[in-house]
Amino acid sequence: MFRKIPIILTADQLLDLSIRRTKKIKIEDRDVRYKTKKTIIARTDSFVDTIVSKLESYVKKFPSIEQLPKFYQEIIDIKINTDKLKKSLGAVDWARKTCIMIYSKQIRSLKKTGNIDFLKQKQKEIYGRISSVLHQIDENLIFLADAQNIMKKFPTILDIPTIVIAGYPNVGKSSLLKHLSSAKPEIATYPFTTKQVIVGHVKIEEKFTTKTYQIIDTPGLLDRPLAKRNDIEKQAIAALAHLADIIVFMIDPSETCGYSLKNQYNMLGQIKKLFEDVPIVIVENKADLKKTDSSEFKISCENKEGIDQLATEILRMIKTES
The contact set with Mg ion (CB under 5 A) reads 173-174, 193-194
Q: Whole-number minimum distance, CB 169 to Mg ion, in Å?
A: 8
Does residue 286 belong to the site contacting ligand GTP (CB under 6 A)?
A: yes
CB-count exposure of residue 143 (10 Å: 0-12, 13-18, 19+): buried
Question: How many Å apart are CA 193 and CA 23, to the nearest integer?
Answer: 51
The single residue among 86, 105, 289, 319 that binds ligand GTP, judged by CB under 6 A, is 289
Q: Specify the residue, 98 or 170, whose C-beta has the smaller distance to ligand GTP.
A: 170
Does residue 296 belong to the site contacting ligand GTP (CB under 6 A)?
A: no
Kind plus residue range of the DSSP H or E element containing 71: helix 70-79
Residue span binding ligand GTP (CB under 6 A) among the ranges 100-108, 201-209, 290-298, 300-308? 300-308
Residue span binding ligand GTP (CB under 6 A) among the ranges 46-54, 90-98, 105-113, 182-190? 182-190
Question: How many Å apart are CA 249 and CA 268, to the nearest integer?
Answer: 7
Amino acid, res. 273: K
With CB under 6 A, what is the number of residues at the site for ligand GTP? Answer: 23
3 state DSSP class of 304: coil
The single residue among 191, 242, 275, 282 that binds ligand GTP, judged by CB under 6 A, is 191
Does residue 301 belong to the site contacting ligand GTP (CB under 6 A)?
A: yes
Q: Specify the residue, 18 or 235, whose C-beta has the smaller distance to ligand GTP.
A: 235
Residue span binding ligand GTP (CB under 6 A) among the ranges 56-64, 130-138, 281-289, 308-316? 281-289
Amino acid, res. 293: D
The single residue among 300, 307, 310, 315 that binds ligand GTP, judged by CB under 6 A, is 300
Does residue 193 belong to the site contacting ligand GTP (CB under 6 A)?
A: yes
Q: How far is CA 201 from CA 161, 166, 206, in A?
A: 10, 17, 16
Q: Which of residues 209-268 bind ligand GTP (CB under 6 A)?
A: 219-220
Does residue 169 belong to the site contacting ligand GTP (CB under 6 A)?
A: yes
Residue 167: count of CB within 10 angstroms of its CB: 28
Question: How many Å apart are CA 186 and CA 4, to the nearest integer?
Answer: 27
Short-list 87, 70, 219, CA closest to 157: 70
Q: Specify the residue, 123 or 218, whose C-beta has the smaller distance to ligand GTP.
A: 218
Does residue 288 belong to the site contacting ligand GTP (CB under 6 A)?
A: yes
Q: Whole-number minimum distance, CB 251 to ligand GTP, in Å?
A: 11
The single residue among 1, 187, 222, 317 that binds ligand GTP, judged by CB under 6 A, is 187
Does residue 93 belong to the site contacting ligand GTP (CB under 6 A)?
A: no
How many residues in total does the chain contain?
322
Question: How many Å apart are CA 265 and CA 181, to the nearest integer?
Answer: 26
Q: How far is CA 12 from CA 47, 124, 131, 132, in A?
A: 13, 16, 8, 10
Q: Specify the residue, 96 or 173, whose C-beta has the smaller distance to Mg ion.
A: 173
Question: How many Å apart are CA 67 and CA 73, to the nearest integer?
Answer: 9
Question: How many Å apart are CA 14 and CA 181, to the nearest integer?
Answer: 44
Q: Whole-number minimum distance, CB 245 to Mg ion, in Å?
A: 21
Q: Whole-number minimum distance, CB 204 to ligand GTP, in Å?
A: 23
